[in-house]
Amino acid sequence: MQLHKYEKIWLSFGIASLVFFLLLLGYGAFYKGTHPQSHAETIDPNHVEANVSFQPEHLGLNKIAENRYVVNIVASTFNYDFGKDENGNPVKNIRIPKGSNVLFQVTTKDVVHGFNAAGTNVNMIVEPGYVSSYETVLDKPGVYTILCNEYCGLGHHMMYATLEVYE
């Protein structure tokens, strides 16, 4: 079988592109540790409080060891629920020390929401019936806005909170 010069060029280009993109995916998956989010943990969206992590006393920032934290959040209609402070007021600000390893666990009761801490690598889609989780090290001090980046209704623009990483 005889291939024309241009067919050989395009065939070589196609194969080289395929190999390049497979190597790029392998690099990201194995060396950098990136992976698609799994739905390993499911939850009943009508009874979120049945899961220990999302009971009112466990919402928000929880210290589990030195420089290790878990942040449990329930997203609902135009709101992130981080629990309540000692006066019974809703918490809208999370303060975490610089260099901490933080596991964010987020679920929702109603519709699809987004969870993005702008300026960090924390970015998740939160679906009813699943617990979305993302673990990261917060090593850059500053105040970051947590916002919903999936349109969830008319009050979507009011769904935000702040994350403060301090020295």
What pLDDT, in 10s, does the model give residues 57-92? 899 999 999 999 999 999 988 889 998 888 888 888
What is the domain extent for residue 2?
1-35
User: Is there a single domain that holds both residue 86 and residue 129?
Assistant: yes
Please state the three-class secondary structure of the chain as a single string: CCCCHHHHHHHHHHHHHHHHHHHHHHHHHHHCCCCCCCCCCECCHHHHHHCHHHCHHHCEEEEEECCEEEEEEEEECCEEECCECCCCCECCEEEEECCEEEEEEEEECCCCEEEEECCCCCEEEECCCECEEEEEEECCCEEEEEECCCCCCCCHHHCEEEEEEEC
CATH code, domain with 118 = 2.60.40.420
Same structural domain, 87 and 141: yes
Task: Write out pLDDT tens, residues 37-63.
Answer: 665 788 888 888 888 889 988 999 999
111 within a domain of the structure (yes/no): yes
pLDDT digits (tens, 9 = 90+) for 6-48: 999 999 999 999 999 999 988 888 877 776 666 578 888 888 8
Structural domain count, the chain: 2
